[in-house]
Homo-oligomer: A and B are copies of this chain.
Amino acid sequence: MAMKKFINDPANLTSELLEGYVQAYGDKVALAGDRTVVRAKCKDESKVAIVTLGGAGHEPALSGFVGEGMLDASVVGDIFAAPGPPPVFEALKLMDRPAGVLFVVLNHAGDLMSANMAMDMASKQGLNVRQVLTHEDIAPGADSPAEDRRGLVGCVPLYKIAGAAAEAGKDLDEVCRVAEKFNAQMATLAVAIKTATHPQSGEEIFALADDEMEVGMGQHGEAGTGRSQMMTADQTARVMVEQLAKAVKAGKGDKVLLIINGAGATTLMEQFIIFRAARKVLAEAGIEVARSLVGEYLTVQEMAGFQMFVAKMDDELLSLWDAPCDTPYLTVR
């Protein structure tokens, strides 16, 4: 089928969507420059700032989580494409402060190159920035080298954890420490069942047969680890939960944060059904779902599928998770 989307000139997608976004949530976010989303009301300079970067087309991620208790700035690229190093460096400079900046980067080649370049510039100019790289995709195997593992929806809870520590006035070392602790204890697995069209080229980002699903599919149509026949919700959840629990070494008595992140066209109805099934499998293993999210946090246009995220939680992480936040797409009172 031809691409059917409510858009105008494909060249203006990112600027139009950002314009709409900051208008829609003008009480919470604003644009700094063309492509950097910042809080409407800046955080106190005495607190560590949290900055991230990434391509557009995954809404509400990443900019949907700019706001109290989470991000301070999100530098946005074009659809599925990293922003260049200069705007990233500019954002780091804008957020620079004695308390320092935590810079969260998702492991994707383009993002990483821009981030590294910007970090180089930042260190040359003496900015106080520390980088955390997320790479929690376990599709290539939980033990494969970090550089082969992509950063998926795990960035969102990591913003929350790090953001809460920063908001609480922790210093950069502490904010880094909790972010890295959480980073080391999280894992995501994605599954796709229907493709999406790239809103600029109008082309399908991958192809799957009518009765096929693919576990491990990346969030831009990158090939996964294995195609199989379509399974039921219960079967799919079991396959995924077992790999995830193993990856984070969760066992009897452990507490986890479980996130079901819809890719775009998969309904909340299905997500709840998957969530219920995932809880069941975890319960069988004696693992407690201490906290959870179900919904669309990082999407892949109108792709059908979802990401399942599991992180092992301790009391410190739980209390950071429970701290209030107020962003357009995640609010905790």
Q: What residues make up the interface of A, taking CB atoms closer than 8 Å to B?
A: 1-2, 4-8, 13, 16-21, 23-24, 56-57, 59-60, 64, 193-194, 199, 210-211, 230, 232-234, 236, 264-277, 279, 289, 292-296, 299, 301-302, 304, 306, 324, 326, 329, 331-333
Q: Smallest CB–CB gap between A323 and chain B, Å?
A: 13
Would you give the shortest CB distance from A206 to chain B, in whole angstroms? 14
Give, as a whole number of angstroms, the nearest-CB distance from A70 to chain B.
Answer: 13
Query: Told that A7-B233, A7-B270 touch, could you supply 13 new A-B pairs with CB distance under 8 A?
Result: A1-B210, A6-B271, A17-B272, A20-B272, A20-B273, A21-B294, A23-B275, A23-B289, A24-B292, A57-B267, A267-B299, A324-B333, A333-B333
Give the copy number.
2
Cα–Cα distance between A65 and B270 once the two chains are bound (Å): 18
User: In the assembly, what is the distance between CA of A18 and CA of B211, in Å?
Assistant: 27
Measured CA separation A210–B333 after assembly (Å): 44
Most buried by B among A199, A269, A304: A269
Q: Which of A4, A57, A232, A331 has the most CB of B within 10 A?
A: A4
Cβ–Cβ < 8 Å partners of A275 in chain B: 20, 23-24
Q: How far is the CB of A150 from chain B (nearest CB, A)?
A: 21
A294 & B24 in contact (Cβ 8 Å cutoff): yes
What CA separation (Å) do A289 and B26 show in the bound complex?
11
